[in-house]
Amino acid sequence: MRRVALKQLAWGWKDEAWMFEFLLSRSINDPFKRMTTWQTNPRQIALEIIIKQFPQHPQTLTLLRDRAENDPDEQVREFAQKKLAQLEK
């Protein structure tokens, strides 16, 4: 449910000044704990939206580096590592 809510908020309020900070907070602080491999982590959804909507934001690469090393979810860490490698080329 949080995944859908994040996508809708990001789409509907993409031009709002507070959206980056909101997504940044979700990408770090969402309490999701994976129970099965097919579940989608809202922290990863927030990262995906940040990469798409705010690729030039000064904190985007820093956030990806942090999540690539420190996210408690292995799938999110792998996603962040992959995206970071693509963006740093």
**pLDDT the model gives residue 23:** 96
Domain extent at residue 57: 2-32+40-87
Task: Give ∠ CA 84-25-12 in degrees, rounded to 5.
Answer: 90
* pTM of the predicted protein model: 0.89
Q: How many domains does the chain have?
A: 1
**pLDDT the model gives residue 13:** 86
pLDDT range class, residue 15, cuts 50, 70, 90: confident
Give the distance, in angstroms, between the CA of residue 60 and the centroid of all CA atoms in the same chain. Answer: 9
Q: Is the four-CA dihedral 78, 40, 46, 28 of positive or negative sign?
A: negative
pLDDT tens-place string over residues 17-58? 899 999 999 999 999 999 988 899 999 999 999 999 999 999
CA distance 24 to 39: 21
